[in-house]
Every structure is written in C-alpha cells, then in structure tokens.
A and B are shown apart, each in its own frame.
Chain A
Amino acid sequence: MALIKDQQLSVNHAATPEIRFSDWLNHEQAAGDTVLTNGEDDLPSLLASANKLSMIAIEFETFADGRGFSMARMLRRDGYLGEIRAVGDVAMDRIDFMHRVGFNAFELRDDQHAAQALTKLGEVSVHFQPSADGKGPAYMA
C-alpha cells in the first residue's frame, strides 16, 4: 500500500500500528507509542492520551464515515504534533480535505495511483474556513 506523508511519496516509514487504541489503553506502557483508532473509540480518552503517542492512525472503515475528520481536527487543536495517518478506505478524492483537517499521512487504498493522488493535495487552492493547515479565508490573511 502506497503511503503519502508530508506531501510526498514515502518509501521508508513506520508500519501502520495494529494495536487498537482501546487495547493500548488497557496495557498502556508495554504497547508502544502508536495506535490505530476510529470513530468508535472514546475521543476524550484519545485526546487525553495523545501526548504519549507518536502516531495515531485513524481508520476509515468506509469512505462515508466522516468522524475521522473531526477527530484529526480536534487532535491538532489540542496541539498534537505527531503523525496522524489516514488508513482504510482512503482515496485521492478525499485526501485534500483530510490534509486540511490535520492528517499528514495517507495510506492509500490499493486501487489508488499514488503519484496521481499527490496532485490532489491543494487541488482547490483557496479556502473559506480556518483549518488545521493554517490557511483560511481571505479576511484572515
């Protein structure tokens, strides 16, 4: 599976964690500092634990499940600086919005062409909302 990270194709990167956040919470220290989560996990706990994690992989079980967008946005609002990786049903038509709310890594679905996907970041270059990428509406500039 191709991974885009920090706006380029990544060849050498940490594997996507397999340990679920809920399990990580239960045997916290032993389990490393990367977790896999999704909209079913307890978000306040995740936000409270984020400073102990170097990577949070947010899983999109289906592309229509938009909860991960708010999760990433709230993690960045709290100042989380680690990697937020989108995994699961991740396609090029959503990674620009994902990037804007705070994801910095995208594990693309198998059918996705990675080089083409890269061109989708910033496809619409102007924004009407403040978001995690620091760009916002014209009146904020």
Chain B
Amino acid sequence: MYAYNQFDQTLVDQRVEQYRDQTHRYLAGEIPEDEFRILRLMNGLYIQRLAPMLRVAIPYGLMKSEQLRTLAQISRTYDKGYGHFTTRQNIQFNWPTLESVPDILADLAKVQMHAIQTSGACIRNTTTDPFAGVSADEIEDTRPWCELIRQWSTLHPEFAYLPRKFKIAVSGSSNDRAASQVHDIGLHLYHNETGEIGFEVLVGGGLGRTPVIGKTVRKFLEPQELLSYLEAVLRVYNLNGRRDNKYKARIKILVNAIGIDAFTEMVEAEWQLLKDTELRLPESEIERVKGFFTGPDYLSAVHAGSDLQGVFVEHPQFATWYRQNTRDHKQAGYRIVIVALKNQLQAPGDVSHQQMDGIAALADEFSFAELRSTHNQNLVLADVAQRDLLALWLKLQDLDMARANVGTLTDMINCPGLDFCSLANAETLVLSRQINETFDDMDYQYELGEIQLKISGCINACGHHHVGHIGILGVEKGGKQVYQFTLGGSASNDASLGKTLGRSIEQDQVVVVIGQILDVYVQLRQIDETFLQLVRRLGVVPFKERVYGTHQRSAA
C-alpha cells in the first residue's frame, strides 16, 4: 500500500500542530464557537450527545496492521477501549476529550494517519471497493487513483468551504461494491471500445433527505485528466451550489435544479481551461503511485493452495464460514476473507481494542500485514492463502469474529443512532440487538440468501436505508420513536431507491414486521429468486397486505 514520503509526513505533522494551535486558541477564548466548530469538523471532531466524537480517516479503507494497533492503543488511552467502523471506511472514537485530540492526531501521524477532512463542508475521504487489487472480477485496480485523489483533495485551498460535504467513490470492477452511484461523484474505471482505460464520471448521487442516483456527466475520461476534471466539477459546484439552505446544498440539488445537460456544459466549459495544464497527471507520477500497489509476494498456487474438501467434511462450520465469508481471489491459491463485525453482542461495525490487536496480529500472520475496512462495516483480510484458512478461522473464533453471516440479514449496516448521535431522532442499536436475538437461526438466514438490511436513525441516512433491500428509517412522531420501512433499494450496479412500505412501525414491532416481510418472500419466491429480485418483480403490494392486513399496533 501507499507509504508516506517526507512530503506527506511534513504535511500531516504540520497539520497536527496547526490544529493544536487552533484548539489552544479556542480553549483560550480566542476563536468564536461557531468558527471553531468548522475548524474542528475539518479535523473530524464532532460534539455528540454525550461526548466529542473523532472520526479518523482510513484512505479508501486500506490499513497496515501497525496502524490498526495504533487505533487500538488510541481507544485504550483516550477512549473507552473500542472503535466503530463507518460506511465510508473510516473509524470513529466516541469518547475522546476535546483537549486530547491534538495528541491523538500526533499519535496517528506517527503511523501515517490523520483525521483531515473526515467531516465538514469539504472533500471527504475517497472510498472504494474493499476488494480492490485482489478481486477476481476486477477490471482495473482503483487504489492508485484513490491515492491520487487523496493527495489532490487533501488541504485543497479552494475547496475547504464548499456549500456542503463532498464524497467521491471509485469502482473498478464489474460489481460495484463502493456504492458509487450514491456519491457526489462516482468514478467507474473501465475499458472503452478501443481498449483504453478511463473513467465514467457520475455526479449528483446521494442519500439524505433527497435520495438521488448519480447521473453520467462524462462517459469517458482519460485518466491523466482525472484531477483536472474533478477540479472543474468542484469549481462549478463551489460557485453555484446553494448556500442558503443546508438541506439543499449538496451537488445533487444543483444538478437536479439546472439539469444534467446544463450542468455538464458548465463543467465541460471550465474543464476546457483546465485540461492539459499543470493538473494533467504526468505518466511518471501515475507510475510512481501505481508502484505502491503492485501486490504482495504471493506464493505459487501449489504452495498457497490446499484441497479443502476433507477439511470441510471434518469442520462443517468452517465450510459454512468459507462459503459465506470468503470470496474469489484473482491469485490462484488465495482467498479474500471478510471479517464480519456483526456478532450478536456488539453494535454493527464496533470493534474492541482486543479485537483490533487480534486482527492486526492475524493480518501479520496471514495477510501480508495489511487489511481493509468496508462500506458494509466489516474488515477484510485480502490475501489469505487457502492452506491458512482453517488456522485463521480458528483464531477468528477466539476473537468472536468468525460469525459466518456476511451477506445475510444480520450483516446489517447501522448508524449509531440516538444512543450517540446528536442528529438522530431514533435509536438504531436497539433494533440491531432485537434483530440478532430474533433471527438467531443461521440456517434460516442462509436459506433466505442475500439480504441487505440498512438502518438509519434519522433522515440524514448515514445507514443508507434508501438503498437497503430492506431499509429502516427511525423518526420521531409525537414523542415516540417509530420506524419507516422501504423495500427494494440497492447500491450496486443496479442501484435503486427503496419504495415505502406504508405507515410507521412502533419500535417493539420492527422485528415482527421484518419477519412478515421475510415470510412473504419465502412464500412467493420462484426458484433461485433473490429477495431483491422478488421485490422488483412484485413491488411492495404483497408485503403491504401482509404487514398492514394483520398489523394492529402500527403507529399513526
């Protein structure tokens, strides 16, 4: 993976001292509250309901084991011994003090990490496919391009005070695992008809109050002009995005207001002045960055591979885990291992400091000392030799991280909700607990197949409920927390927004309704038909009839 040079290190070190000075001046009363708010947000520091929350950047989800160890150490020293991985591949600490943040940032800088632009109205962490560079279905490795975007966007002087936050996701495989169509900019690496590699550029996707699927603004962009094109889009947005209403300030609102054709014209006009300038990436720079992602020193298939059939017979649970939690690797003899952060006892995405240390050690032992965080709030060991899988599985069990539920109902995305977040209107963690208690029969979950359940505690949609196969949105009505269901959303290649099931459901009825929805699916499905396919075929009507026909306790 990418390693800092003196240049990167200097920037991060100086940024830590800059923030230390800002914190110092704030505490001395020299920076007004509203102004410091913006400054701390640009360093990932929120003030939540109970305590500050610090979001640390994990650029495009890639980590070295030593970095995860530092995160564990930070959680012990400054927090309550755990962290929370987010849908944008970052990690959050829920209990640091405001005064300690400069020291945390200094600790992070020692292992080439930071919290720069993890919040605020600026360009956020660029996200990508957690299987980038290793997946069997990959067209092109996205990581070098993500790194180039990381550098360009970091402390970009022109785009630190945008109308609103700005998120970029990059996908480079035939299966979009980066939710790129619901980002402010989605980039798709692909080969055009003549075999050249380039980007399709989408703009204006997003969730929140106004969910929108991104629209193509350029069908093919030569990769050398990636940064000039991004700069053109950002400049058009910075100058023209609405600033009078924060709920109408995202680029999707601008694109929808003027239309994609007019927006494209503005971007292209600006880009004509930017392409072939100093923003054009020299081939040497592209090659330099690509050089960091050449892949580890794989063993030959003969040495790495292993016939697991006998092991499967001997350890049926291992066979199940293999089927659910590992994926095809482009390198013969290797598997991609997904470490689910979705056990019964912890909130989705939560990880204790012992687990962080444990998984770091497993990365050292089995996956070239690297790991990744995923949009689905799991971790990935990307390069595990088949012959090591059983040993890895046994050790993951010791960490309570071997639950074989990837892709199932309980592999849910969940925002922290009212338990932590000052924006939330409703609890979400109580739902994930109830769901885990109710749907504890793994065989039933396997039988249901792939179901993406996504839960948000407010309209801001951090839990991506609009694009869940089953989406749940918590709202507050008349002092009560109630939940609105949507069905049929997707953030993959076939991205779509879920359709509303009907009126809100009371908290203690949520698992009942999920059960009813699953019953309808099981009763009506055709052979090999997934839940999502069925919802698309039949719409929400049969679900509506079942839920509201029998459901007497729904809220108004």
- The A interface is mostly helix, strand or loop, or mixed, namely loop
Q: Which residue of A lies closest to B38 (CB)?
A: A64
Nearest CB of A to B170, in Å? 18
Nearest CB of B to A130, in Å? 4
Q: Are A130 and B278 in contact (CB under 8 A)?
A: yes
Nearest CB of B to A92, in Å? 9
Nearest CB of A to B152, in Å? 6
Interface string of B367-410 (1 = CB under 8 A from A): 00000000000000000000000000000000000000000000
The verdict on A129 contacting chain B, using a C-beta distance below 8 Å, is yes
Q: Are A66 and B284 in contact (CB under 8 A)?
A: no
The verdict on B5 contacting chain A, using a C-beta distance below 8 Å, is yes
Interface string of B115-133 (1 = CB under 8 A from A): 0000001000000000000
Nearest CB of A to B533, in Å? 44
Neighbour of B238 across the interface among A69, A93, A129, A140, CB < 8 A: A69
Alpha-carbon distance A65/B285, docked complex (angstroms) = 34
The verdict on A18 contacting chain B, using a C-beta distance below 8 Å, is no
Alpha-carbon distance A109/B263, docked complex (angstroms) = 36
Neighbour of A124 across the interface among B11, B32, B235, CB < 8 A: B11
Alpha-carbon distance A97/B15, docked complex (angstroms) = 13
Nearest CB of A to B239, in Å? 5
Alpha-carbon distance A100/B159, docked complex (angstroms) = 12
Nearest CB of B to A121, in Å? 12
Give the contact-size bracket for chain A.
35 or more
Q: Are B11 and A128 in contact (CB under 8 A)?
A: yes
Q: Are B10 and A137 in contact (CB under 8 A)?
A: no
The verdict on B260 contacting chain A, using a C-beta distance below 8 Å, is no
The verdict on A14 contacting chain B, using a C-beta distance below 8 Å, is no
When distances are taken between beta carbons in the complex, the residues of chain A under 8 Å from B15 are: 124
Alpha-carbon distance A43/B5, docked complex (angstroms) = 39
Q: Are A70 and B158 in contact (CB under 8 A)?
A: yes
The verdict on A138 contacting chain B, using a C-beta distance below 8 Å, is yes
Alpha-carbon distance A64/B246, docked complex (angstroms) = 12
Q: Are B158 and A131 in contact (CB under 8 A)?
A: yes
Most chain B C-beta atoms within 10 Å of own C-beta, residue among A70, A73, A100: A70
Neighbour of A129 across the interface among B30, B157, B288, CB < 8 A: B157
Q: Which residue of A lies closest to B163 (CB)?
A: A66
Q: Are A123 and B14 in contact (CB under 8 A)?
A: yes
Alpha-carbon distance A43/B238, docked complex (angstroms) = 13
When distances are taken between beta carbons in the complex, the residues of chain A under 8 Å from B277 are: 130
The verdict on B282 contacting chain A, using a C-beta distance below 8 Å, is yes
A52-83 CB contacts (< 8 Å) to partner B: 63-67, 69-71, 73-74, 77
When distances are taken between beta carbons in the complex, the residues of chain B under 8 Å from A12 are: none
Given contacts A123-B18, A139-B288, contact A65 B243 (CB under 8 A): yes
Nearest CB of A to B88, in Å? 20
When distances are taken between beta carbons in the complex, the residues of chain B under 8 Å from A96 are: 157
Q: Which residue of B lies closest to A65 (CB)?
A: B243
Interface string of A81-95 (1 = CB under 8 A from B): 000000000010110
Q: Are A97 and B239 in contact (CB under 8 A)?
A: no
Nearest CB of B to A101, in Å? 5
Q: Are B158 and A101 in contact (CB under 8 A)?
A: yes
Q: Are B35 and A63 in contact (CB under 8 A)?
A: yes
When distances are taken between beta carbons in the complex, the residues of chain B under 8 Å from A136 are: 278
The verdict on B49 contacting chain A, using a C-beta distance below 8 Å, is no
Nearest CB of A to B436, in Å? 42
Alpha-carbon distance A126/B12, docked complex (angstroms) = 10
B131-170 CB contacts (< 8 Å) to partner A: 151-163
Alpha-carbon distance A96/B239, docked complex (angstroms) = 20
Q: Are A65 and B278 in contact (CB under 8 A)?
A: no
When distances are taken between beta carbons in the complex, the residues of chain A under 8 Å from B18 are: 123-124
The verdict on A29 contacting chain B, using a C-beta distance below 8 Å, is no
The verdict on B31 contacting chain A, using a C-beta distance below 8 Å, is yes
The verdict on A17 contacting chain B, using a C-beta distance below 8 Å, is no
Nearest CB of B to A34, in Å? 23
When distances are taken between beta carbons in the complex, the residues of chain A under 8 Å from B279 are: 130
Q: Which residue of B lies closest to A63 (CB)?
A: B35
Alpha-carbon distance A64/B241, docked complex (angstroms) = 13
Q: Are A126 and B5 in contact (CB under 8 A)?
A: no
When distances are taken between beta carbons in the complex, the residues of chain A under 8 Å from B32 are: 111
The verdict on B344 contacting chain A, using a C-beta distance below 8 Å, is no
Q: Which residue of B lies closest to A89 (CB)?
A: B35
B494-535 CB contacts (< 8 Å) to partner A: none
Given contacts A65-B243, A66-B159, A136-B278, contact A124 B14 (CB under 8 A): yes
The verdict on A26 contacting chain B, using a C-beta distance below 8 Å, is no
Q: Could you list 19 A-B pairs, sorted by A, with CB under 8 Å?
A: A63-B161, A64-B161, A69-B158, A69-B161, A70-B158, A70-B238, A93-B22, A93-B39, A94-B161, A96-B157, A98-B157, A123-B18, A124-B15, A124-B18, A125-B14, A128-B11, A129-B152, A131-B158, A139-B284
Listed from nearest, the 4 A-B pairs whose CB atoms lie closest are: A66-B161, A97-B157, A100-B157, A139-B285
A70-B158, A100-B157, A130-B277 given; name 14 further pairs at CB < 8 Å. Answer: A64-B121, A66-B159, A67-B239, A70-B239, A73-B235, A74-B235, A93-B22, A93-B39, A123-B17, A128-B153, A129-B156, A130-B278, A138-B5, A139-B285
A-side interface residues toward B, CB under 8 Å? 39, 43, 63-67, 69-71, 73-74, 77, 91, 93-94, 96-98, 100-101, 111, 123-131, 136-140
